[in-house]
């Protein structure tokens, strides 16, 4: 199972899923551009990703930096920061989008 990255509905990369790595690190393994400007320190808010509803329960709860950098409405509708988001287990199938389409 894997983390699959989609941009504008098109699969751009697929990488093995590791519980110990955040989704920014998964993207970086395949050189998928996320927009990160702070190197994954939870400060820039530029690495926004959107997770389909069926996959949200496979991730950690939103972190303090996410509650500071994203609105409650964004979090409730599936937006996360890649550097703050971790798979709950190894080997999960997770879809990551850079837009909510
Ligand atoms: S990389 Fe800057 S907040 Fe995630």
3-state class of 65 per DSSP? Answer: helix
| CA atoms of 81 and 70, how far apart (whole Å) | 8
What is the overall mean pLDDT for the chain? 97
Residue 53 lies in domain: 2-97
Residue 95: pLDDT band (50, 70, 90) is very high
Closest to 27 measured CA to CA, from 88, 66, 82, 91: 82
The pLDDT of residue 100: 76
What average pLDDT does this structure show over 69-90?
Answer: 98
CA of 82 to the centre of ligand 1 (A): 7
CA of 55 to the centre of ligand 1 (A): 21
Residue 1: pLDDT band (50, 70, 90) is confident
Closest to 21 measured CA to CA, from 59, 61, 67: 59
Residue 101: pLDDT band (50, 70, 90) is low
**Residues 23-58: tens digit of each pLDDT:** 999 999 999 999 999 999 999 999 999 999 999 999
pTM given for the model: 0.95
What average pLDDT does this structure show over 76-80?
Answer: 97
The enclosing domain of 21 has a CATH number of: 3.10.20.30
Closest to 63 measured CA to CA, from 82, 49, 36: 82
- How many structural domains does the chain have? 1
The DSSP H or E segment spanning 48 is strand 48-50
Ligand 1 neighbours by CB, cut-off 6 Å: 24, 36-38, 40, 42-47, 81, 83
Nearest CA owner, ligand 1 atom 3: 42
């Amino acid at each position: 199972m894997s983390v699959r990255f989609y941009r504008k509905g098109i699969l751009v990369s697929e990488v093995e899923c590791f519980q110990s790595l955040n989704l920014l690190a998964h993207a970086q393994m395949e050189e998928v551009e996320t927009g990160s400007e702070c190197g994954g320190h939870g400060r820039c808010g530029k690495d926004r990703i959107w997770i389909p509803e069926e996959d949200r329960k496979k991730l950690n709860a939103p972190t303090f930096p996410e509650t500071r950098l994203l609105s409650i409405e964004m979090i409730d509708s599936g937006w996360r920061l890649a550097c703050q988001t971790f798979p709950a287990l190894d080997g999960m199938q997770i879809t990551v989008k850079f837009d909510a389409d």
